[in-house]
Amino acid sequence: MKNVLFVCSENACRSQMAEAFANMHGHEVIKAASAGSKPAGRINDKAVRAMREAGYDLSTHRSKSVDVIPALDYDLVITMGCRDTCPRVKAQERRDWDISDPKDMGAEAFNRVRDEIERKVLDLIAELEK
C-alpha cells in the first residue's frame, strides 16, 4: 500500500475528488488522504453532486488543512494544479497534476474536470500496481 496525499488550496473540490476516486478504484494499492493549504471548511456542493453521479458520497467528507493530517512520510504527494509545495508534508515523491479549479464552472465543465481526475487516478493506480 502506498500512502498518497492529494492537495489543493481549499480541499473542497479537486483533492477531495481525487481521494474519493483513489478509495473507489485503488483501495488495494493506495491509502489515500486529502488536505488543503487554505481549507474552505466545507466541501463544494458541486463536487458532492458530481461525485454522487459517479457513485460516491462525498457529503461525508470535510475540508481539512495540511496542518491536521497525520504526520506520515507519504510515498507520494500530488498537488492539483495549485502549485502548493506543502513543505510541512514529508514525501518521498511530489507531483503536480495541472488541473483547473472547477469551483466556478458550470455542471458540464465541472464534470469534465471530475472525469480528468478519475483518469489520472486510474493511471496512477496502474502505475503503482507494476
Number of domains in the chain: 1
- Write out the E strands in the chain: 2-8, 30-36, 73-79, 90-96
Where in the sequence numbering do the catalytic residues fall?
A: 8, 82, 86
Q: Which CATH number is 107's domain given? A: 3.40.50.2300
Q: What is the pLDDT of residue 71?
A: 83
Q: Tell me the C-alpha to C-alpha distance, in Å, between residue 61 and each of 19, 32, 106, 117.
A: 10, 13, 22, 17
Q: State yes or no: pLDDT of 7 exceeds 70.
A: yes
Say what percent of the chain tops pLDDT 70: 95
Range of the domain at 60: 2-129
pLDDT of 63 higher than 80 = yes
pLDDT recorded at residue 83:
65
| pLDDT tens string 66-85 | 888 888 889 999 999 876 65
Per-residue confidence (pLDDT) for residue 75, from 0 to 100: 95
Specify the residue for cell string 455542471: 107
**How far is the C-alpha of 59 from the C-alpha of 41, rounded, in Å?**
13
